[in-house]
Structure 1
Amino acid sequence: MMRVASETEPMGAQIDIRPVTEATYEAFRHAFAATFGFASSTDEIERSRAWAEYDRLLAARAPDGSIVGTSGALSFGLSLPGARSAACAGITMVSVRADHRRRGLLTRMMVDLLDDAAARSEPFAALWASESPIYGRYGFGPAVPTIDISLDRRHADLHLDGPVGEVRFIDIEEARTTFPALHERFRTTRGGVMSRSDGWWTRVLTEQPSPAKATGPLRLALLPDRGYVIYHLASAWSDGAPRGVVHVHDLVGLDPAALAALWRFAIDTDLSETLEIVRRPPDDPVLHLLRDPARARVGAGWPLYLRLVDVPSALASRGYLVDGTVVVEVADRLRPANAGRWRLTVSDGTGRCDRTDEAPDVSLDVAELAAISLGGVRATALLDAGRIDGSSAAALGLDRLFAAERAPVCDQMF
């Protein structure tokens, strides 16, 4: 349970930070939405209760009772290299009302959220940063780069079509019994993928595409025991011809033929001209499945930001492809227990992280250590950018040690 925090501001107004309750949840959601410039309907708020964790949501209240800040966390499992997983706090719904900015309110909420994560033995925290420059000072680094892909149906022939004839539409109830196990199997193949509770699957399977006008319902398609795809068609017409856009929400294929079949099935949606999908890994196999990859429009997507709440536990949680030893000196102004020199020793693919007085091979902030921790960002790139201190050989050694079989990915916004 989170502690109750209070803060006396320079103007003398006291701000209380307290966990949300079932009764105050609706006001919390409205306050968050107002800061981000949109409105939440009563139906949307009621639906979101399926995955809300009230005791992990914080509302900051002014003396008049109004909510002037919001933040929260979701309990996830984060997939790690080596087919491993660790508990992770998914930081979410962070906002501060404009008339209460720059008074330390965000810092107090972030400290409370990270303290709570530590108390729950969650070695990682993660978030999607709406304004990324804010979160580096709280120790979050962009650890999971993603790409967005747009395909023109006319130029989306694949080298392999796979068993597309075996893909079939299913209803929500069948999806509830088949999709979760497939997603869990997918999580063992890449780092960065969050687990999904029953409540979260309710969100995935009932999400209403926006805007509703000219937008069809979610389509749920299953390739039995091998994968699934969730998408919707946004209808559009020009000069009497269909120009619809297929928006893919989630696509999981557990072998090359399955992956090709599911891509083919979505690409061939009637009345569509293009397919768009976001939050894909930089090494997405579809870029090699395409016969004409130059026609694909690929752009940088939002990266997932990661934070090491407990440095030794986080580094010992993942698997490693090679054995080796490295000494890192970590700076962490928000969580002093992480600061100092750590010796990471990897043997038979398992890491152990201990305090040491040895001279460091590399010195870096905890945000940079988080950025490289899943193998999605190279230490040599950070060295070249002046973000870490050490020799080229030491940075290259970190890259070898932190390498993963595949690029990490996070396939869901939270």
Structure 2
Amino acid sequence: MTDFYQDKKVLLAVTGGIAAYKAAEITRSLIKAGAAVRVVMTDAAQEFIPAKTLAILSKAAVLTDQSWQKASAAVDHVHLAQWADLIIVAPATANSLAKLSLGLADNALTTTVMASQAPKVAVPAMNNQMWENAAVQSNVQQLTTDGWTFVGPATGFLAEGYEGKGRMVEPAEILASVAEQLARSVDAVTATQSLAGKHVVVTAGGTKEAIDPVRYLTNRSSGKMGYALAEAALAAGAKVTLVAATDRPVSAGIKVIAASSTQEMLAAVVANMDHADVFIGAAAVSDFRVAEIADHKVKKQGDEHMVLDLVQNPDILKTVGQAKKPGQVVVGFAAETENLIPNARKKLQSKHADLIVANNVLDDKAGFNKDTNQVTLVANNHEPIAVEAKLKTELAEDIIAAVAALLTSGQVVV
């Protein structure tokens, strides 16, 4: 992200939702990253944050309906539209998404956005029930078809006072996701659609096994690798279903199924494998779960020890591997601390997989919650292929290339 915004001209379009107050932080962050920022905002947005605040931060006049309606500024929206290298609509309310998807130009913001040929990004923010509404999803799909990039929404605490999916992604994550997605989309223009017409199912994140209503067992996985694989598969032309135990921003073209526990994840995977061509098990799945989940918070009993009765979880990779159909490719991950290649080969055979992506989690450039990884690809009848340390987003492209080669030739090529 460091260089992505350098010398870019970014138009921040602010619509009228409670998350509009975060426009100040987005503006500051963009400028700090090297961008020149201009702002256009709706009347409703000004009820949450004054135009003067954003004018001071951006060091430029803010285009509003009031200023746009003046005769001397009647074509300001055209100049601003031509000036922009990138447009970010944040927050993007349900109402603004509807207008933009239908081509309605009834205020300074929608008119400016529609007059621009720059790449456009929407950062949705609304109540979870509004986000899930069929009309809103139809508008999102239309904008995606029109070339828009979506960041979020995230799952979190909503203005209504409860948890749900609809919260605007935090500014730092917006900038990182926009940079990552748009950089990838530029590469994808010239990339071969090696998975066009294929359906790829990916798992991501660390599963959570409840102990009681408050506590759970989990692991260190961030889900970064799984999400990167889903994005890379989408860029390669695949239909992508992501079964995720963690919530991160993702392209609107990816179908996301939330699955907290191992059993939930297995059910979602099995339900989608009938018509899938590829399974990539990148999730860090809990090997064990609590035998009986307490229906109330377990209190300390005065002694120093608490014993949990654990039972073995189903093996998702093995279940998929044993049930795979001719032509399907099954990919697993092996997070090891020793004997990397022997353990990966053993897993390849016992899980009936076609490819194992093995890494040593003790390596400085590999492991959980890092942006980089260093892996070795282990396949049947093939010498292991060591892949140098690189960003997980770049590594994901290598793995997807290997998957595409397995589908077409049965050989691993990176």
State the TM-score, normalized to the length of structure 1. 0.29
Question: What TM-score do the two structures reach when normalised by structure 2?
Answer: 0.29
Higher helix share: 2
User: 1 or 2, which has the higher strand percentage?
Assistant: 1
